Amino acid sequence: MHSKDTGIFVMEKRALVILAPGAEEMETVISTDVLRRAKINVTLAGLDSAEPVICSRNVCIVPDMSLDDAVLRGPYDIVVLPGGLGGSKRLADSEKVKSVLISQESAGGFVAAVCAAPSALLSHGISKGKQITSHPCVKKELEASGQYSYSEARVVRDGTVITSRGPGSCFEFALAIVTALVGEEVAKEIAGPMMLPTV
């Protein structure tokens, strides 16, 4: 798209959010909503299909398309993994997700995971040696692997990997993604109308 102020061509940023059955619905919706407020083009992709997905609290979310179709429309600037124990296990067990994450990391793109979803990073061998955080329920697993430096911070960014702790930190998580992709000023602009503390 063109910037009206400068006339300079600006490449639109693109995010892929992978939605698995049993995902934490707050993490899925907050991440998608906040990124769209920042004018990031978000594709919400169903892990198994484009059919409605039942999340961890029985909220039903309809993805934009299947992950298979979304992959064909790549590449993406960031791949986002919402948590939820059931959803995270499906992400960790999925060969499709493994392929997407390996390709994303190989291309130098961002990867983000919240709550229990960092366990999928471990399962697929992604972001080894990085500092990360997670929900406490998967902390021991991540620490015991010896693959990461674990932090108790609410949101951690280490290079191209962004992780966070859970539903209560998800606005901060999403704003950290916005900052990484389009800058801190945009993150501040969208935080205000949502009545969030400025970043």
> CATH number for the domain including 151?
3.40.50.880
pLDDT score, position 2: 41
pLDDT score, position 11: 82
Structural domain total, the chain = 1
Q: Does residue 99 lie in a domain region? A: yes
Q: Does residue 112 lie in a domain region? A: yes
Strands (DSSP E) along 85-192, which ranges?
Answer: 110-114, 131-132, 149-150, 155-158, 161-164
pLDDT score, position 191: 96
Q: Does residue 193 lie in a domain region? A: no
Question: Could you list the pLDDT tens digit for every one of the 199 residues in the chain?
Answer: 444 455 555 689 999 999 999 999 999 999 999 999 999 999 999 999 999 999 999 999 999 999 999 999 999 999 999 999 999 999 999 999 999 999 999 999 999 999 999 999 999 999 999 999 999 999 999 999 999 999 999 999 999 999 999 999 999 999 999 999 999 999 999 999 999 876 5
Q: Return all residues near 3 (Cβ < 8 A) that are at least 6 apart.
A: 9, 10
Helical residues (DSSP H) of 1-134, grouped into ranges: 25-37, 67-72, 85-93, 95-106, 118-123
Q: Does residue 196 lie in a domain region? A: no
Residue range of the domain that includes 68: 14-184
Q: Does residue 189 lie in a domain region? A: no
pLDDT score, position 8: 55
Q: Decide: 113 and 173 in contact? Cβ < 8 Å.
A: no
163: left (phi over 0), alpha (psi -120 to 50) or beta: beta
98 by Cβ neighbours in 10 Å (0-12 / 13-18 / 19+) ranks as: middle
pLDDT score, position 88: 98
Q: Does residue 192 lie in a domain region? A: no
Catalytic residues: 115, 135
Q: Does residue 102 lie in a domain region? A: yes
pLDDT score, position 178: 98
